[in-house]
Amino acid sequence: MAADLNLVEKSRVMDASAMNRALRRLATEIVEKNNGAENLYLVGIRRRGVPIAERLRDKIEALENIKPLFGILDITLYRDDLSTVGANPVVNRTELDDDVDGKKIILVDDVLYTGRTIRAALDQLMDFGRPKKVQLAVLIDRGVEHRELPIQADFIGKYIPTKQNEIIKVMLKEFDETEAVGIYHRPNE
Amino acid sequence: MNTEKPYRRRDLLGIRELAASDIIGILDTAENFREISNREVKKVPALRGKTVINLFFESSTRTRTSFELAAKRLSADAVNISVSSSSLSKGETLLDTAANLDAMAPDCIVVRHSSAGVPHRLAKVSRAAIVNAGDGANEHPTQALLDAMTIREHKGQIDGLSVAIIGDIVHSRVARSNIHLLTKLGATVRVAGPRTLVPKDFSFLIRDQELASGKRPLEVCDHVEDAIRDADVVMILRIQRERQDSAYFPSLREYSIHYGLTNERLDLARRDAIVLHPGPMNRGIEIASDVADSSRSLILDQVKYGVAVRMAVLYLATGGNFTSG
């Protein structure tokens, strides 16, 4: 994203070890609430939800000695702004290799903001079958006041109340040079 | 007629008009649409509220069904118009038909016509995106794209491959689109068929690639064996039985003896060579039954990938993108 070059960092809210500790706690909470890792199916939302889901899967496996199922959703074709944005976004692959019927799905994304991405992911998930239940895990929750749909997370890594003109960037080694979470704003704001 | 084009329209008139990067972009997008046809609910909401008109002036079952399924799996409303039921049989001109369709505000018109250039003409006057589903002996771009997708699936890439195309090259829009696509992506193409059915001069097809690479990406062979020898892909064209009366070749039996793909001929190709046919095939004429039914024949894969390719084309034609930013 070329626009990122102009962003100014306001504050850093998480570094790599803080992120790791938050994910470790999330993994524990997920296992606790679901009485183990039986029947768990972690589904990461492209792009940044995917590595976070992978890390949660590995941590859950270390805790329970059961490897949860794993999948990837690309929600592009389910976006509600396809008819309003200038050009349709690039479509990437959805990979749900195992049946979702009767599974406990943990939907994973990096940031929960308006809730529209999660709405799209839920709609897409239902087209694959009928999960037993769906829960939402996010690394960062920007606060309910930004929500445009009645959607909340079940597991939250860190709650960061933000203003609308602020931007939360989750940087992961899979995509970025560092591992951190920062609050940014545009220079003229 | 108001001919102002909306910002987001994008036509697919032929492979000739595309750059190699466009072709790769469409194929990559199509890969990501494949999975949708394996779901319990084979439908995504991406083109909800959009209208796709399949305007077929030539009969077609496979291509029309494939486009119709592609549109429906993207949640577009698909309307089929075939020549027997259209006003064209009542004397309306092509441009009047186009103007009338346009007045109903479709987002995309998929057109097949027996005359070359009809989609290009429509693209000039219609506000909808135009997708060529076969125009005369000119091009059939989505067939070449699904062939390329099948080849990529089995060979990894197209660059560096040797592809034999056998049959009626002169009348084949499938051959033309494939020659454009394969040479643009770096394959070498060898064509063979009865002399009456192979153009003498191919320079109009491949001039640009030849100039760019300095080597000859296309070769015309006198014998079918020369074309097949060491090929990675053997593409068989359908012999149009209706042309038999035009004396391009003496008889179907003779065609089958000299040009039909048999196991013996296929043994000349590389051991891992694959066989493609755009269908509908004439068993025992251009392709022997045991070849058609062998594991090297990927004819049903081609049909399967056809839906994914057409979903990608419709998505891109109505505003989709394959590069970000």
Of A91, A123, A128, the CB nearest to B29: A91
CA–CA distances in Å: residue A14 to residues A48, A110, A140, A179, B187: 16, 13, 10, 9, 50
pLDDT number for residue B248? 83
Q: Which pLDDT tens digit goes with each residue over A50-65?
A: 999 999 999 999 999 9
How many inter-chain contacts (A to B, CB under 8 Å) are there?
62
Q: Which pLDDT tens digit goes with each residue over B299-325?
A: 999 999 999 999 999 999 987 666 543
pTM comes to 0.87
CA–CA distances in Å: residue A141 to residues A73, A114, A154, B225: 20, 10, 11, 66
Predicted confidence (pLDDT) at residue B113 exceeds the cutoff of 90: yes
Q: B205: pLDDT confidence band, cut at 50, 70 and 90?
A: low
pLDDT above 90: percentage of residues in chain B:
70
Q: B15: pLDDT confidence band, cut at 50, 70 and 90?
A: very high
Angle, helices B141-155/B20-33, rounded to nearest 10 degrees:
70
A128:B40 CB<8 A? yes
Alpha-carbon span B167 to B248, nearest angstrom: 12
B323:A76 CB<8 A? no
pLDDT number for residue A187? 78
Closest residue in chain A to residue B35, using alpha carbons only = A94
pLDDT number for residue A1? 42
pLDDT number for residue B85? 59
CATH hierarchy code of domain B20-138+306-317: 3.40.50.1370
Of A83, A90, A124, the CB nearest to B322: A90
Q: What is the mean pLDDT of chain B?
A: 88
More confident residue, B203 or B12: B12
CATH topology identical between B20-138+306-317 and B141-302: yes
Shortest distance between the Cα of A127 and any Cα of chain B, in A, equals 5
Closest residue in chain A to residue B42, using alpha carbons only = A127
Q: A88: pLDDT confidence band, cut at 50, 70 and 90?
A: low
Shortest distance between the Cα of B324 and any Cα of chain A, in A, equals 6
Predicted confidence (pLDDT) at residue B166 exceeds the cutoff of 90: yes
A88:B318 CB<8 A? yes
Interface residues of B toward A, Cβ cutoff 8 Å, are: 7-8, 29, 31-33, 35-36, 39-41, 43-46, 49, 74, 312, 315-316, 318-325
Alpha-carbon span A3 to B234, nearest angstrom: 48
Predicted confidence (pLDDT) at residue B8 exceeds the cutoff of 50: no
Alpha helix ranges (H) inside B156-282: 173-184, 203-213, 224-228, 252-259, 263-266
The single residue listed with the structure tokens 């045991």 is B290
User: ipTM score here?
Assistant: 0.78
Closest residue in chain A to residue B8, using alpha carbons only = A87
Shortest distance between the Cα of A122 and any Cα of chain B, in A, equals 13
Closest residue in chain B to residue A86, using alpha carbons only = B8
Report the candidate in B173, B184, B198, B144 with the shortest Cα–Cα distance to residue B313.
Answer: B144
pLDDT number for residue B319? 74
Mean pLDDT for B140-166 is: 97
Predicted confidence (pLDDT) at residue B203 exceeds the cutoff of 80: no
Fold exhibited by the domain B141-302: Rossmann fold (3.40.50)
Residues 75-134 of A with CB under 8 A from B: 76-78, 82-83, 86-95, 123-124, 126-129
Closest residue in chain A to residue B107, using alpha carbons only = A83
Q: Give B-chain residues touching A82 at CB under 8 angstroms.
A: 46, 319
Mean pLDDT for B248-277 is: 94
Predicted confidence (pLDDT) at residue A21 exceeds the cutoff of 70: yes
B320:A88 CB<8 A? yes
pLDDT above 70: percentage of residues in chain A:
93
In chain A, domain spans: 17-78+91-185
In chain B, domain spans: 20-138+306-317, 141-302
pLDDT number for residue A26? 98
Of B8, B32, B39, the CB nearest to A92: B32
Q: B250: pLDDT confidence band, cut at 50, 70 and 90?
A: confident
Q: Give B-chain residues touching A98 at CB under 8 angstroms.
A: none
- CB A22 within 8 Å of CB A180: no
Q: Give A-chain residues touching B36 at CB under 8 angstroms.
A: 77
Task: Identify the architecture of domain A17-78+91-185 in CATH.
Answer: 3-Layer(aba) Sandwich (3.40)
pLDDT number for residue B92? 80
- CB B230 within 8 Å of CB B270: yes
Query: Which has the minimum average pLDDT: A13-17, A40-44, A122-126, B199-203?
Result: B199-203
Q: B174: pLDDT confidence band, cut at 50, 70 and 90?
A: very high
Q: B167: pLDDT confidence band, cut at 50, 70 and 90?
A: very high
Of B31, B39, B315, the CB nearest to A88: B315
B162 three-state secondary structure: strand
Alpha-carbon span B65 to A69, nearest angstrom: 36
Q: B6: pLDDT confidence band, cut at 50, 70 and 90?
A: very low
Report the candidate in A171, A151, A150 with the shortest Cα–Cα distance to residue A48.
Answer: A171
CA dihedral B180, B182, B183, B185 (to 10 degrees): 110
Mean pLDDT for B248-261 is: 90
A91:B32 CB<8 A? yes
Decide: residue A17, CB within 10 A, 0-12 exposed, 13-18 middle, 19+ buried.
Answer: exposed
More confident residue, B205 or A59: A59
Residues 22-51 of A with CB under 8 A from B: none
B41:A128 CB<8 A? yes
Cross-sheet strand order for the sheet of A104-112: A69-73, A40-45, A104-112, A133-141, A155-159
